[in-house]
Amino acid sequence: MRKYLKNKRVLRACEIYKMLDTSAKRKHTSFHTPGHKVGAWDITELSYSDNLSCPRGCIAQAEKDIARILGAEKSFILTDGSTSGVFAVLRSAKCAGVKTVLALPPLHKSVYNACETLGLSLLISDEADGRLLDSADALLCTSPDYYGRIPDLKKYRSLCDERGKLLLLDGAHGGHLHFDKTLYAGAYADFWVDGVHKSLPALTQGGVVSARTEAGGKLLEQSVDIFRTTSPSYPIMASVEYAVKYPRNEALERAVRAFAKSEARVEVHGDWTKLCARFGKSAFRAEKDLERKGIYPEFCDGEYIVFYLSPATKGREFARLKKALRRLFEIYPYEEKRVQQNPAPRVCTAGKKIEWVALEASAGRVCACKCGLFPPCTPLIFEGDRIEERQIRLLQSANNIFGLSEGKIAVVKEDEEA
Ligand SMILES: Cc1ncc(COP(=O)(O)O)c(C=O)c1O
């Protein structure tokens, strides 16, 4: 644990960590789960360790502190990633009467999956205006997105207020935004997720889901309980509290913004933790070069290589990245990619027979699944899209993808396409 949670001053303010640290020093013979029997740090609900599903001790105090910091009435620690938080947010919205959600892309696959599972209609639009919002009961945005872009939350809050609609935010990438009182979800949303493991020093899968009002908090409490594990990881819980209490790193924020200003091919949008370096056609080659130097970005989309930082990123690590990027910009002058043509209209796939074909043989076929790069886990091809050569090339070049099975992609049988 100490390898990951290092800031002693923060640890002194962390209730769950203090409980675990004290118990790790005690004599402890384990006849309880987990089966590794170590009896320290990675424990289960014991007489002294509280219980995430109905907290009354250190977890209750940690969640209170987290809610205060994130601007929520109620916050719940997640140990199953933001995915479970997205499900809980959408179920709470449904319980509050929402039937149709207007959502602004990019959307993580959990949003599509939750809407489908919960029977919510999803209306997707690049922009939200009053007319569109009138045909939905809630507005959902990803804030920030994978590239650090933050939607106009002030405008969307007013639109929702004028019409009595709920504003839902997927802040899987925005756990650190509470440092900026104009950007953080707590200033705008009714229900939201903060995926603290992505941009704050929490262990993977650590997150928080929050509600703005007491009534919302009650709905959320029931919803969270449905989607989360009954065996939450104590190290993850402790790391979530630690991450939310972790201090701001203004020196690094300034350094990142200054670098973006000084390099024409570096973009940093509203959120400083996502640094986007433009490479065009040579993006995957440049990514491989970086990896050979031991520098691993979050993802490459075939145009940009995107680097994720956090307040825990060290100054010397950022200096290394800057040096490596400057060198790569010299080696790979920017080569523009061919302009995308208009995609063919989407075909209805409901009730049609499907088959699995090799990805390389799927050009022109109608896709029967969602698939894309992993991360960012936002679909590149949707059900009903005609698969394009450039999409196949992108999927073939990426390090990781989702939606395919053993190199094959689900498509509608040719005689069923019409
Ligand atoms: C926008 C967005 N929402 C939700 C999620 C799901 O988060 P997790 O992987 O923590 O379950 C992700 C993960 O990449 C995401 O990017």
Hey, where are the domains in the chain?
8-245, 250-331, 354-416
Looking at the predicted structure, is the pLDDT value of residue 340 above 80? no
Segments in 304-358 forming alpha helices (H)? 315-331
The Å distance, Cα 315 to ligand 1 centre, comes to 27
Contacts of 310 (CB under 8 A, 6+ apart): 176, 199, 200, 201, 273
The mean pLDDT value of the chain amounts to 96
Q: Which of 79, 80, 87, 108 to mutate to test the pocket of ligand 1 (most atoms within 8 A of CB)?
A: 108
In which element (H, E) is residue 373 found? strand 372-373
- Ligand 1 geometric centre to CA of 71 (Å): 21
Ligand 1 proximity of 144 Cβ (cutoff 6 Å): no
81 Cβ below 6 A of ligand 1: yes
What is the percent of the chain with per-residue pLDDT over 90, rounded to a whole number? Answer: 94
**Centroid of ligand 1 to alpha carbon of 298 (angstroms):** 13
pLDDT at 331: 97
Contact 59, 16 (CB under 8 A): yes
- Overall fold of domain 354-416: Molybdopterin biosynthesis moea protein, domain 2 (3.90.105)
Q: What is the pLDDT of residue 335?
A: 82
Instruction: Band the pLDDT of 338: cuts 50, 70, 90.
Output: low
**Which letter, b or e, does each residue of 93-121 get, where b requires 16 or more Cβ atoms within 10 Å of its Cβ?**
bbebebeebbbbebbbbbbbebbeebebe
Mean pLDDT of 156-166: 98
CA distance 47 to 198: 32
Average pLDDT over residues 271-293: 97
Q: Would you state the pLDDT for residue 342?
A: 73
Give the SS3 label for residue 236.
Answer: helix
Give the number of the atom of ligand 1 that is nearest the alpha carbon of residue 146. Answer: 16
Q: Is the pLDDT score of 36 beyond 70?
A: yes
pLDDT band at 96 (very low <50, low <70, confident <90, very high): very high
Give the pLDDT confidence score for residue 339 in this predicted structure: 60
CB-based burial of residue 3 (10 Å sphere; 0-12 exposed, 13-18 middle, 19+ buried)? exposed
Q: What's the burial of 223, exposed, middle or buried (CB within 10 Å: 0-12/13-18/19+)?
A: buried
- Per-residue confidence at 418, pLDDT binned at 50, 70, 90? confident
Identify the CA nearest to 399 among candidates 290, 323, 308, 293: 290
How far does the centroid of ligand 1 lie from the alpha carbon of residue 293, in Å? 28
What separation in Å is there between the alpha carbon of 81 and the centre of ligand 1?
7
The rounded Å distance from CA 50 to ligand 1 centre is 27
Mean pLDDT of 355-360: 97
For residue 148, the model assigns a pLDDT of 97
| Cα 4 to averaged position of ligand 1 atoms, centre (Å) | 21
Atom of ligand 1 nearest to the CA of 205: 10
Which residue is listed with tokens 């449905």? 226
- Which of 192, 377, 400 is the pocket-test mutation for ligand 1 (most atoms within 8 Å of CB)? 377
Let me know if domain 250-331 sits in CATH 3.90.1150.10.
yes
What is the structure's pLDDT at 345?
84
CA of residue 269 to ligand 1 center, whole Å: 19
Q: Tell me if 310 sits within 8 A of 256, measured CB to CB.
A: no
End-to-end CA distance of the chain: 57
Segment 235-244 shows an average pLDDT of 98
Number of H helices, E strands in the chain: 14, 15
- Alpha carbon 362 to its chain centroid, in Å, reads 30
In which residue are the tokens 């073939």 written? 396
Residue 299 pLDDT > 80? yes
- Give the residue among 281, 307, 303, 304 at the shortest CA–CA distance from 295: 307
Ligand 1, residue 106: give the atom nearest the CA.
1
Strands 191-194 and 166-171: parallel
- Does domain 8-245 sit in CATH 1.10.3720.10? no
Burial of 321 (0-12, 13-18, 19+ CB in 10 A): buried
Region 184-195 average pLDDT: 97
Is residue 85 lining ligand 1, measured as CB closer than 6 Å? no
* 82 Cβ closer than 6 Å to some ligand 1 atom: yes
Average pLDDT over residues 370-393: 94
Report the alpha-carbon distance of residue 220 to residue 94 in Å, rounded: 11
Residue 138 neighbours by CB under 8 Å, 6+ apart: 93, 98, 100, 101, 102, 160, 165, 166, 167, 168
